[in-house]
Structure 1
Amino acid sequence: MRASTTSGGSWIRPLRSSPQRGQVHLVCFPFAGGSAGYFRSLADSLEPDISVLGVQYPGRQDRRHEPLIEDIGQLADEICEALIQWETRPLAFFGHSMGSVVAFEVARRFQRDKRRAPLALFASGRRAPSCHRDEDSHAADDDSIIANLRSLGGTDPALLDDDEMRRVILPVIRGDYRAVEAYRAPTTETMLNVPIMAITGDRDPSVSLEEASAWRGHAAGSFEIKVLTGGHFFIHEHVAEIADCVRRVLFGFRSERTRPLRVDVASQSRGHS
């Protein structure tokens, strides 16, 4: 693995004052345009048993002067190296949207390099790597990208209305879109010896139930899918419930045998994308 361009401290942000108190480090990977601090509410819901580490991709906030990384594989390589210093505690991975793909690739590298496997992978708001859609949002004009962000609901509308903030946000969004839209699932070593929980919103236009369920094809062991009410950023409305799922999987799966696919639908209907 090539040398990291930045220190582990630049990449990994503890979202609590005493991260070593937790029995497990939950490493959270943001969505396109997102930052480490997005997961602070989840961190508050999980303490004191689980300490949350947010991944801060370059090109945003305090790393805004660093060049964007527009390749998922390179992102995963850098994050793998940055996590070495945090392996004093067991790790688990939680990704939302683009972050689910990055988390999957980091887990693959852990397995390839025979590092201690994460306790679980939580893939939120993203179809399985094996489910490809041809997308070119990164090539859209600025107004189209802003309209898309408004429809997804994950960005403060006040930021989207501010011309200066739009100039800051748009290059980051476009670069992240370019990275995830260029991503293709690997042809080998796509099964993880890690429990996987897929979490999806019942009205998410970017993920169908079938695409979320396809994460089962990447789980050599246990797999579960959780369907919650809401769109792409359903996580806003279900922080406490997601925290309960994380606790149950991390502190309960060791005594369970491999489980069959189990669908827990929090709504009577499922939207189609």
Structure 2
Amino acid sequence: MIVRTEDGRGRPSSALLRSLPANRDCPVRDGDGRTVYCVPSAGTGARTFLASHAFSPLRNHLRVVQLPGREDRAAESCLEDVHVMAGLIADAVVADACEDYALFGHSFGALVMLEVARILVRAGAPAPAVVALAACAPPHLSAFARFDEMTPTQIVEALADLGGLDLHGERGERLLPLVLPALAADSRASARYARTAERAAISSPVLAMCGSHDVAVTTHQAAGWGDYTDAGLVVTEYPGGHFFPLESDLPLRAVVEWQR
């Protein structure tokens, strides 16, 4: 792989990745600690994911992807191609040069991280210790919701059903214009990817994670990820709904402590 120094928009590839400031009370991520690269759920950004782990002793392990069109990159146009997103992230991972790392994708982010793993394999880069795919069914199965085909009112109700951001009332009127463009773009990217996705297996084990009350993904559906790896599949259910990775550090701990 030729590592690009820019993300195609004149920004260093490192601008894709966000971390929390080092915390002296948490173990320092060093050569013995696993770096976990994460892509958050559709329409959301790194700040939201990092904030949910701000007080976790595992916080120093996190490197979260900040895609264009959200939070501090809101002025940039959203990407609408999973392969383009994955290529940029793969380059940033290679540039980081971490010896021990894992990939973690939440919901839509799981599709992106699957493709990142494939790109890294094709490039001959060191494989991730594990690829964790949370709250997401494999691409050959039907998606729970097509946000790109919904009206704003329908999106508000669908997010409420998933236990996500409350966009009702005046608060919703303020937040929806900020969230909707990225959410719709990610949904279009997801739908396009699902129509053309390969089942080529990756060389890393897959840890498929589900929420016990997630209406979008069941453990039976998550078991379908076994078709996408040659290195074994583990399906684990955690307490919570679709956004369980933001409610506890147990999923992150499973990734950090994963043993080959």
Matching residue within 7, 22, 25 for 1:4: 7
Structure 1, residues 226-268: CA drift from partner, whole Å, max 9, x if none?
A: 012322112243x23223322331xx32xxxxxxxxxxxxxxx
Matched, 1:127 2:132: no
1:59 pairs, out of 69, 73, 87, with: 69
> Structure 2: which amino acid aligns with 1:223?
L
Q: In structure 1, what is the equivalent of residue 164 of structure 2?
A: 154
Unaligned runs of 5+ in 1: 254-273
The residue aligned with 2:230 is: 220
Runs (5+) with no aligned partner, structure 2: none
**Cα displacement (A) at 1:201:** 1.4
Deviations 1:76-119 (A, max 9, x none): 11111222321134221111000111010000000011111111
- Cα shift readout 1:47-102 (whole Å, capped 9, x = no counterpart): 37x61100001001111111100111111111112223211342211110001110
1:246 aligns with 2:255: yes
Contact 2:148 2:184 survives alignment (8 Å): yes
Which amino acid in 2 is paired with 1:215? W
C-alpha distance 33-236 of structure 1, shift in aligned 2 (>3 A): same
Mean CA deviation greater in 129-138 or 170-179: 129-138
Q: 2: distance between equivalents of 1:20 and 1:244?
A: 14
Indicate which of 15, 22, 30 corresponds to 1:17: 22
With the length of structure 1 as denominator, give the TM-score of the two structures. 0.81
**Equivalent residues in 2 for 1:92-131, closer than 5 Å:** 92-131=102-141
In the alignment, the residues of structure 1 paired with residue 165 and residue 77 of structure 2 have an alpha-carbon distance, to the nearest angstrom, of 22
TM-score normalised by L of structure 2: 0.85
Moved over 6 A (4+): none
Considering Cα pairs closer than 8 Å and 6+ residues apart, tell me whether 1 or 2 has the greater RCO.
2
Write the letter of the residue equivalent to 2:34.
V
Opposite residue 109 of structure 1, the aligned amino acid is I
Q: 1:193 & 1:187 partners in 2: Cα distance?
A: 15
Q: Which residue is equivalent to 2:213?
A: 203
Query: Which range is displaced more, 228-237 or 1-10?
Result: 1-10
Shift of 1:216: 1.2
Amino acid aligned to 1:204? D
Please say if residues 20 and 54 of structure 2, whose CA atoms lie closer than 8 Å, have aligned partners that are also in contact: yes
Query: Against the structure 1 CA distance between its residues 247 and 9, is the aligned structure 2 distance closer, same or farther, given a 3 Å change threshold?
Result: closer
Q: Report the more deviating stretch, 33-42 or 88-97.
A: 33-42
Distance in 1, Cα, partners of 2:97 & 2:132: 18
Deviation, structure 1 residue 135: 5.4
**Residue-by-residue CA offset, 1:5-59 (whole Å, 9 max, x unaligned):** 13123201122427753622100111001111233244643537x6110000100
Q: Deviations over 1:130-154 (max 9, x none)?
A: 3244953202111111111122122
Shifted more, 199-208 versus 106-115: the winner is 199-208
- In 2 relative to 1, CA 134–202 (structure 1 residues): closer, same or farther, beyond 3 Å? closer
2:13–2:91: 8 Å Cα contact kept in structure 1?
A: yes
Could you tell me whether the CA contact under 8 Å between 1:15 and 1:51 is conserved in 2?
A: no
Deviates more, 1:168-177 or 1:101-110: 168-177
Match of 2:197 in 1: 186
Aligned residues: CA RMSD: 2.5
**1:73 counterpart = 2:83:** yes
Instruction: Give how far 1:219 is off.
Output: 1.8
Checking the alignment, whether the CA contact within 8 Å between 1:228 and 1:234 is kept in structure 2 is yes
| Aligned partners of 2:219 and 2:235 also within 8 Å | no
**Cα distance, 1:208 vs structure 2:** 2.4
- CA drift of 1:210 comes to 1.9
Over 3 Å counting, the alpha-carbon distance change for 1:135 and 1:243 in structure 2 is closer
Q: What amino acid is aligned across from residue 7 of structure 2 in structure 1?
A: S
Residues 44 and 28 (structure 1), Cα distance of their counterparts in 2 relative to 1, 3 Å cut: farther
Q: Specify the SS of the correspondent of 1:4.
A: coil
